[in-house]
């Protein structure tokens, strides 16, 4: 079965997380993603937090499935020439180098768009290519801090808190994937490519926009509220049996779910308690109500609570740790947790494609070894002959 992005070739020059996450999701959707790396060492993520000395790190592996790897030394004239030949035959270039890095090599947008007017030149930067902060570098926590996410995360008595899900890195990558798809669609009518840019700060601001609404409603920065969501009660985490560090369940019962909740708890008489008669009174007496709910949840495991409330139509979720996520039968059934066999590691678990297309289901293929596809790609796309390939290897160009 043909995949949605079959025939689209993407040159992925990115490293770490934001860019690789973007390229991987497009690879899941069928694009031919060619990961371009330095001959010596490749993407720094290959050795980042390496747990096996003879294998690429799991950090690299979970971000680089469905790609081919080509090594190319862009500091050589031969390397630049081959790069330009690749670009001439590609649809998208994705890069997240420091500000001005590719321009200094003569490989910026102005230069490459003349070589290939249909090229989508996709740039991920911490703060973008213009604006007062455009010369600054960034990483995930910096993007969260500058995007406002940390100031609204955590408990009121604690400092601003870093959110571990990578909204600055992978969140930026998903925004970029949308931008690339939009540019490819526009190319159908315009006949030409364009420069697509996403900054990490911009992506984080987009994800916290509801908090910006609250600032304008109340006239001051919204306070950190921990796990409490708005004024809905119950609307937080509750401890469960047997009392481990992650034995909690999140319950969110909107007003129309109040009676189903207390019915599922076996305490329908709470409907007649004046302290809990209205949403406002439940908020005013939230500490007493939360204590009643938690007394009930402590007698059950988090998954038991979730099942009882789920069957009653009350939204709730077990606070699953990473081991539980990897073993979750629902995620396994949806191919969101999949097993992959890597040559130097064996079987490991990774995340599948969250986008389910009925006519082109994603097939997860293992990440590439460093330079695994160099000769095949240069021969097929750049028409480099065998003798020339040998010379390029000997010269350290590939």
- Ordered by where they begin, the domains of the chain are 9-207+330-394 (3.40.50.10540), 235-320 (3.30.1540.10)
Residues labelled as active-site residues: 169
Return the number of other C-beta atoms located less than 10 Å from residue 130's C-beta.
10
**pLDDT tens per residue across span 334-364:** 999 999 999 999 999 999 999 999 999 999 9
Cβ atoms of 364 and 66 closer than 8 Å: yes
Q: pLDDT tens-digit profile of 259-281?
A: 999 999 999 999 999 999 999 99
Is the pLDDT at 385 greater than 90, yes or no?
A: yes
pLDDT score at 372: 98
Per residue in 95-135, pLDDT tens?
999 878 898 999 999 999 999 999 999 999 999 999 999 99
Q: Which pLDDT belongs to residue 25?
A: 98
Quick one: pLDDT at residue 101? 86
Residues 107 and 116 sit within 8 Å (Cβ to Cβ): no
Spatial distance between the Cα atoms of 95 and 173, rounded to a whole number of angstroms = 11
pTM (two decimals): 0.94
Residue 2: pLDDT band with limits 50, 70, 90: confident
* Helical segments of 169-225, H only: 170-190, 200-207, 209-218
């Amino acid at each position: 079965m043909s995949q949605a992005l079959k025939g689209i070739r993407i040159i992925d020059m990115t490293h770490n997380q934001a860019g690789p996450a973007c390229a991987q999701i497009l690879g899941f959707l069928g694009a031919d993603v060619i990961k371009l790396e330095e001959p010596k060492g490749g993407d720094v993520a290959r050795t980042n937090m390496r747990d096996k000395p003879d294998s690429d790190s799991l950090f690299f592996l979970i971000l680089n499935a469905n790609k081919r790897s080509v090594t190319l030394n862009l500091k050589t004239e031969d390397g630049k020439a081959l790069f330009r030949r690749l670009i001439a035959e590609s649809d998208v270039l994705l890069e997240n180098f420091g500000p001005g890095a590719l321009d200094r090599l003569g490989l910026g947008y102005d230069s490459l768009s003349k070589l290939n007017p249909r090229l989508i030149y996709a740039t991920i930067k911490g703060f973008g290519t213009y604006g007062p902060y455009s010369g600054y570098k960034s990483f995930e926590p910096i993007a969260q801090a500058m995007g406002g996410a940390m100031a609204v995360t955590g408990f009121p008595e604690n400092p601003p808190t870093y959110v571990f899900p990578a909204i600055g890195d992978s969140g930026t990558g998903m925004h970029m994937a949308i931008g690339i798809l939009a540019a490819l669609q526009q190319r159908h009518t315009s006949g030409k490519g364009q420069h697509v840019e996403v900054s990490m700060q911009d992506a984080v601001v987009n994800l916290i926009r509801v908090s910006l609404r609250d600032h304008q409603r109340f006239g001051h920065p919204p306070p950190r509220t921990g796990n409490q969501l708005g004024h809905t009660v119950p609307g937080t985490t509750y401890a469960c049996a047997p009392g481990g560090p992650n034995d909690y369940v999140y319950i969110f019962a909107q007003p129309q779910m109040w009676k189903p909740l207390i019915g599922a708890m076996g305490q329908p008489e709470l409907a007649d308690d004046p302290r809990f008669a209205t949403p406002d009174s439940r908020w005013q007496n939230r500490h007493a109500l939360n204590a009643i709910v938690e007394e009930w949840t402590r007698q059950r495991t988090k998954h038991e609570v979730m099942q009882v409330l789920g069957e009653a139509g009350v939204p709730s979720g077990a606070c699953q740790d990473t081991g539980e996520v990897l073993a979750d039968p629902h995620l396994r059934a949806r191919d969101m947790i999949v097993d992959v066999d890597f040559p130097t590691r064996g079987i490991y678990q990774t995340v599948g494609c969250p986008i389910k297309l009925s006519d082109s289901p994603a097939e997860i293929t293992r990440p590439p070894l460093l330079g695994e596809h160099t000769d095949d790609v240069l021969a097929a796309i750049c028409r480099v002959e065998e003798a020339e390939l040998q010379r390029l290897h000997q010269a350290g160009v590939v």
